[in-house]
A and B are shown apart, each in its own frame.
Chain A
Amino acid sequence: MELFTPELGLVFWMFVFFAILFFILAKFAWPYIIKSLEERGDMIDKGVLYAKNAKEQLDNAKVEAQKYVAEAQKQQADILRDAAKMKSQIIEEAKTAAQEEAKKVMDAAKLAIEQARKESELQFRNEVSSFALSIAEKMIKKNMEGDKAQAELVNKLLNEVENKN
């Protein structure tokens, strides 16, 4: 039975070719293939981990962003409220300031008017008194000449005063 008695030639060649194939592949192929497979496996693992972290960070970032937005909105509202408050305050202040100023100006005007009035009164009085004095003086001078003459003088003086005014 040929099948059950190994042929020497085939055993020999099998040994030779298997040994050659084994040495070539063991030296140049399998270690390289295994190394590449493992490297790729590691890289994929790392990639998955990285993606997971990135997603986590992204989720966190979203939450944080929302927090920031909320904070910003609050600040904005605060600022707006402050601004409104400040606006009304400024207007109020301006109003009061204007009123005060107006009052001051009016007071000053009143004072000036009063002063002017007093001055004019004084001047008037002085003039009147000087007129009176001069009239009196002339009357006294005329009195010496006659009544008619005195009356004419008075009329004349009075006319003078009238004309002067």
Chain B
Amino acid sequence: MKKVLTILSLVMLFFAASAPIAAAQEAEEGGASAINPKEIIFEHLGDGYGWEVPFSHSHRIPLPVIVRDYEGGWHLFSSSRLMHGGEYEGFKIAEGGDYNGKVVGERPDGNGGMVQYRPLDLSITKNVAALIISALVVALMAFWLVGWYKRNGMKAPRKGLGAFEVTVAYIYDGVIKPTLGAKAKKFAPYLLTVFFFILTMNLLGLIVIFPGGANLTGNLAVTLVLSIFTFLLTNLFGTKHYWKDIFWPDVPWWLKVPVPMMPVIELFGIFTKPAALTVRLFANMMGGHMIVIVLTLLIFIFTAIGGLAIGGVTTVVSMLFSVFMLLIDTLVSFIQAYVFTMLSTLFISLAQAGGEHEEAVTEAK
């Protein structure tokens, strides 16, 4: 095991050392303008129609493109047809403009000319594919554990499955049960799904090659959908007491009668809570990815500026920082999944708490 690690580290070091050389070559070919950090960063943080493979800029794993044109017809084809500026069935990937990097089509503008438009795009992009992989991983883990219980009864699982079980118990007994109490069982499936889904997406995002590498939780669409689910669960299952507290809170009457100040603030609060969830997860994960990419890009930038020697030094320094940041990101991956779950639990319990109190009062009567 130790030997394998040593060999692996040496191989990694070799590739790391070759980075400034590659950078120097690129700089020679295209001058200093060859590197556009902003473009590279956003390409890596953003979505794509293919999945990058290591050591190659030109090859990508093709993924299906599903688009609906302006006439309502559906098109399904491989993204490999659109690579390198290819055009297929009237669609191509836009370069520059409003739809940079997205699939666009052309339609008549009514004056005899053609105009670019964005079709309804339900393609299985890199992010969607990563989403499917994450969902499969979570489902696999959960059903693996279920299978274990069915096979082994009361025996506790060991090793990997044991770690998974411990995490389930940690979230259920540590977060969900103490906060939700008697209602824990009702909301636990949602909260556990959220936790493990986010955790899997976060951790897969840190792996740079194929099954990972997609910046999923650092994408606003993903975090938005997750917090919409929390928002729906919070408000759909909210008790009478919860709604009363929003529209008629226990504050002096002049705060709510002529001008409904408190109700407006409370109503606003309903929406700020999920918004905070969305942005927190998004910003944290995107930030982590961005720092690692920037640290890597520093090698290329410094090589372009100061040549191989400075580039070599920068390589060592930024590799060390990258490793350090990735370790931090591993921690952050867990913490952010935990925080999202914890806050969701809290929001749901806030919408439940009053009801229990009222029930207790009626029972007492």
Contact = CB atoms under 8 A, between A and B. Distances in A.
Contacts of B249: none
Nearest to A26: B189
Contacts of B190: 22, 26
Contacts of B286: 3
Contact of B127 (A10, A32, A36): A10
B100 A25 contact: no
Contacts of B138: 21, 25
B121 A6 contact: no
A10 B222 contact: yes
Contacts of A40: 154, 156
Contacts of B106: none
A2 B100 CA distance: 9
Interface residues of A, number: 34
Interface in A1-25: 2-15, 17-18, 20-22, 24-25
Given A30-B142, A33-B142, A14 B222 contact: yes
A25 B220 contact: no
A127 interface: no
Given A22-B193, A25-B189, A8 B120 contact: yes
B193 A30 contact: yes
B348 interface: no
Interface string B85-104: 00000000000000011000
Interface stretch (B53-61, B165-173, B236-244, B355-363): B165-173
Interface in B119-158: 120-125, 127-128, 131-132, 135, 138-139, 142-143, 145-146, 149, 154, 156
Given A9-B125, A13-B124, A21-B193, A29 B143 contact: yes
B149 A32 contact: yes
B156 A11 contact: no
A34 B197 CA distance: 17
Interface residues on chain B, size class = 35 or more
A12 B189 contact: no
Contact of B149 (A8, A12, A36): A36
B219 interface: yes
A120 to B, nearest CB: 110
Given A13-B131, A37-B168, A18 B146 contact: no
Nearest to A43: B154
A121 B45 CA distance: 157
Interface in B51-78: none
A17 B139 contact: no
Contact of B189 (A11, A22, A36, A37): A22
B19 interface: no
Given A3-B46, A3-B220, A6-B220, A34 B123 contact: no
B169 A37 contact: yes
Contacts of A34: 168, 172, 185, 188
Q: Which of A4, A5, A14, A20 has the most CB of B within 10 A?
A: A14
Contacts of B8: none
B146 A32 contact: yes
Contacts of B149: 32-33, 36
B245 interface: no
Interface stretch (B20-28, B202-210, B224-232, B259-267): B224-232
B146 A28 contact: yes
Given A29-B146, A33-B149, A37-B168, A14 B221 contact: yes
A4 B146 contact: no
Nearest to A19: B229
B103 to A, nearest CB: 10
B189 A17 contact: no
A18 B139 CA distance: 11
Contacts of A15: 225
B193 A3 contact: no
Nearest to B196: A25
User: Which 3 A-B residue pairings sit nearest by Cβ, starting from the closest?
Assistant: A26-B189, A6-B221, A29-B142
Given A26-B189, A34-B185, 16 more contacts: A9-B121, A9-B122, A9-B123, A10-B47, A10-B219, A10-B221, A13-B128, A18-B229, A21-B193, A21-B197, A22-B193, A29-B146, A31-B185, A33-B146, A33-B149, A37-B168
Interface of B: 42, 45-47, 100-101, 120-125, 127-128, 131-132, 135, 138-139, 142-143, 145-146, 149, 154, 156, 165, 168-169, 172, 185, 188-190, 192-193, 197, 219-222, 224-226, 229, 286
24 contacts: A2-B42, A2-B100, A3-B45, A5-B220, A9-B125, A10-B219, A11-B221, A11-B225, A12-B122, A13-B122, A14-B131, A14-B222, A17-B131, A17-B132, A18-B135, A18-B225, A21-B193, A24-B139, A28-B146, A31-B189, A32-B146, A33-B149, A33-B168, A34-B188
